[in-house]
Amino acid sequence: MSLRWKIFSVYFVILIVSLASTGIYLFNNIYESYLNNERVTNLTQANMIANLVSNFIGVSSYLIEPTIVDYSKQINSRVLFTDVNGKVVVDSAGNGELEGKDINSYSDVRAALKGSGSTSIHYISGSGWTMYAAVPVTAKNDIVGSILLSTSIDDVMGFLNTIKMQMIYTFTAIGSIVSILSLIVADFITKPLKRLTDATKVISEGKFDYKVNIKGSDEIGKLAESFNEMGTKLMKIDDERKRFVSDASHELKTPLAAIKALVEPLISNENIDISLYKEFLRDINDEVDRMTRLVNELLVLARMDKINSIKNKTENISEIAYNVIENLEAIAKNKGVSLVFDSDEKIFADVDADRFYRMIYNVVENGIKYTPEGGSVTLKLSCDDKNVYIKIADTGIGISQETLPKVFERFSRGDTARSQKTGGFGLGLAIVKEIVDLHKGHIDVKSTVGKGTEFDITIPVKNI
């Protein structure tokens, strides 16, 4: 069932239940109050007759019948006077049909003869709705008989029936109007959701720039806003992915073209000197190494995208950093660059050891790569309760202000010619940035051309 119909059904059920219970309650109250009124009136009349009759008993009994008949005409009710056994003594009806008959079977008469007033309502075919009201007749504190009043309440019942029908019509009209309104409301609520569902389909087809036009500060408005933001982010990710694939293919094409250029003359020229062969093969070997390095770095980046694979453990990061220095020592020495390591012996943090190693390795290796002979690269570690701070500073060539904001982008190289020479692909710092992000850390770079570069990395100590 669609959400629209669910909302409508809930509204509808609540509506029917509340209207029906209100209607029944109201009608019962009106019904009871009208009939109570009738009961009181009839009992009062019956009591008045009973008083008159009791005054006549034993004194002027012959006045009983004419008084009852007269009174019955005045109040437009049939009046029966029974003796203490329930036998009718006087029946005000023209033919006096019940006179001499025992009506002790009438519950109201029975109750009256026991001393209490009683009323009941009956539907009598031919006469319609009738109310019986019976009261005792007493003489010298003894019950000597009863008065039974039989009054038509057809008009009251008819009036109550009219009220009932009016209430049914009114409540049905209210119910129908509210049902239509609830359908409109359900439509109003679900329409934006339908538009969002349609938009999801459009986005899933790859049209990330599609925007849903739903305004408002309610939950659905906010959902639409987040949805549009998601589209923008997806578009950015998609653009980055496309750029990455095109850059990666371009980078792979370069060494392949170089290898082809080296292999072709070897195939076509027959009399080539063996030393030239060897030289060409060495060049081909270099290009293959370069390609292997590129593929490895691309693999590292691809794995990095699987964020869930991060395996943080509490590690002695000063030890990991020291391992980096040890492993790069030889390269630095070859270049005539000195490596300085400054750290407490034991600094612990929750990190993925392999990735943390690579993060420091890449930055320090860059430092060595871009620092001329005689310069230095310093790796300094410190910490407080919350973070560890890693500073990697070199006295190298520096990075220009135009390149600086882009150094963490994939395939970004400060000076292509220079990087080609030094063998970089512009992926090293992109990997570093990804690792810092995976550790919920932060990286900053400051640099002055000709003087040197400083990278500042902050990683939270607790990160599991």
The reply on whether position 441 binds ligand ADP by CB under 6 A is no
Closest approach of ligand ADP to the CB of residue 334, in Å: 17
Considering the complex, what minimum distance in angstroms separates the CB of residue 377 from ligand ADP? 8
- Closest C-alpha among 213, 236, 235 to residue 225: 213
- Smaller CB separation from ligand ADP, 23 or 398: 398
Q: Is 433 in the site for ligand ADP (CB under 6 A)?
A: no
Q: Report the nearest approach of ligand ADP to the CB of residue 444 (Å).
A: 13
Among residue numbers 166 through 225, which ones bind ligand ADP (CB under 6 A)? Answer: none
Question: Which CB, 209 or 415, lies closer to ligand ADP?
Answer: 415
> Is the CB of 287 or the CB of 394 nearer to ligand ADP?
394
CB of 207 to ligand ADP, least distance (A): 33
CA 397 remoteness from chain centre: 55
Extract the tokens encoding 37: 């009124």
Structural element, H or E, at residue 83: strand 78-83
Question: CB neighbours (10 Å) of residue 372?
Answer: 11
Q: What residues contact residue 355 under an 8 Å CB cut-off, 6+ apart? A: 304, 310, 435, 438, 439
Which residue number, 311 or 333, has a Cβ lying nearer to ligand ADP? 333
CA-nearest of 312, 457, 444, 453 to 382 is: 457
**Does the footprint of ligand ADP cover residue 414 (CB under 6 A)?**
yes
Per CB under 6 A, the segment of 110-118, 298-306, 326-334, 405-413 that binds ligand ADP is 405-413
Min dist CB 405 to ligand ADP, Å, is 11
Check residue 370 for interaction with ligand ADP (CB under 6 A).
Answer: yes
- Does 419 bind ligand ADP (CB under 6 A)? Our answer is yes
Task: Please report the DSSP string for 274-340 in residue order.
Answer: HHHHHHHHHHHHHHHHHHHHHHHHHHHHHHHT-GGG---EEEEHHHHHHHHHHHHHHHHHHHT-EEE
**Minimum Å distance from CB 298 to ligand ADP?**
12
Q: Name the β-bridge partners of 146.
A: 82, 136
Q: Which of 15, 90, 317, 407 binds ligand ADP (CB under 6 A)?
A: 407
Q: Count the residues of the shown chain that bind ligand ADP, applying the rule CB under 6 A.
A: 22
Q: Among residues 367, 381, 395, 434, which is the contact residue for ligand ADP, using CB under 6 A?
A: 367
Q: Nearest distance from residue 233's CB to ligand ADP, in Å?
A: 24
Q: DSSP letter string over 192-260?
A: HHHHHHHHHHHHHTT-TT-------SSHHHHHHHHHHHHHHHHHHHHHHHHHHHHHHHHHHHHHHHHHH
User: Is residue 361 within the footprint of ligand ADP (CB under 6 A)?
Assistant: no
Residues 445 and 454: their CA atoms lie apart, in Å, by 6
Residues 380-399 that bind ligand ADP (CB under 6 A): 394, 396-399
Taking CB under 6 A as the binding criterion, the range among 124-132, 339-347, 351-359, 365-373 that sits at the site for ligand ADP is 365-373
In angstroms, rounded to a whole number, what is the distance separating the alpha carbons of residues 156 and 373?
117
Which residues make beta-bridge pairs with 340?
Answer: 378
Of 215 and 421, the one with the shorter C-beta distance to ligand ADP is: 421
In angstroms, the Cα distances linking 203 to 193, 194, 197, 290, 305 are 15, 14, 10, 39, 22
Position 379 contacts ligand ADP (CB under 6 A): no
* Residue 130 token pair: 């009738």
Please choose, out of 8-16, 32-40, 45-53, 419-427, the segment that lies near ligand ADP by the rule CB under 6 A: 419-427
* Gyration radius of the chain over CA positions: 52
Contacting residue, 227, 453, 457, 459, with ligand ADP by CB under 6 A: 453
Residues 431, 362: contact at Cβ < 8 Å?
yes
Record the tokens describing residue 169, joined without a space: 């019509």
Positions in the binding site for ligand ADP (CB under 6 A): 366-367, 370, 394, 396-399, 407, 412-415, 419, 424-430, 453
